[in-house]
Amino acid sequence: RKEVEQDPGPFNVPEGATVAFNCTYSNSASQSFFWYRQDCRKEPKLLMSVYSSGNEDGRFTAQLNRASQYISLLIRDSKLSDSATYLCVVNDRGSTLGRLYFGRGTQLTVWP
C-alpha cells in the first residue's frame, strides 16, 4: 500500500472555476501535511502547509481529516497560472529525520 495516494487527473477546468483535490495517507501517526506545486520540468515548490484546523491562503484552502486520513486542497477562481501538478505530502512521524512521503501528483490544466 502506498503511503500517499492521489487521483492523478488530469483536471481540466476553465478560468474562474473552483477545483478540489483529495489525497489519502496510510500512516495514522503522521503529523505534518503539505501541498507542493510542481510546474512542468521544474522542482516541486511548497504551496502550503496543512494545519489541523484547516487553513486558507488567498484562493487556496487546505483541509485535514485525521479520522478518515485524507487531505484536501481547494482552489477558487482558478487562474491560467494555476496549471501545474499538485503533490500531496505527508511526514513520517516516527522519524526524527523528517522524512516526507510524496504522492504522485494531480495534474491541473486551467484553460481560458
Partner 1 sequence: SQTIHQWPATLVQPVGSPLSLECTVEGTSNPNLYWYRQAAGRGLQLLFYSVGIGQISSEVPQNLSASRPQDRQFILSSKKLLLSDSGFYLCAWSTRGGGTYNEQFFGPGTRLTVL
Per CB under 8 A, residues contacting partner 1 are 31-32, 34, 41-46, 49, 87, 91, 95-100, 102-105
* Shortest distance in whole angstroms from residue 28 CB to partner 1: 16
Least Å from the CB of residue 44 to partner 1:
5
105 touches 21 (CB < 8 A): no
Three-state DSSP at 45 gives strand
Least distance between partner 1 and beta carbon 87 (Å):
8
The 10 Å CB-count burial string (b at 16+, else e) for 68-107 is eebbbbbbeebeeebbbbbbbbbbbeeeeeeebbbbebbb
Q: Residue 75 or residue 105: which is nearer to partner 1 going by CB? A: 105
CB closer to partner 1 out of 44 and 70: 44
Q: Which is nearer to partner 1, 76 or 104 (CB)?
A: 104
Q: Which three cell numbers stand for residue 50?
A: 496543512
Shortest separation between residue 25's beta carbon and partner 1, angstroms: 14
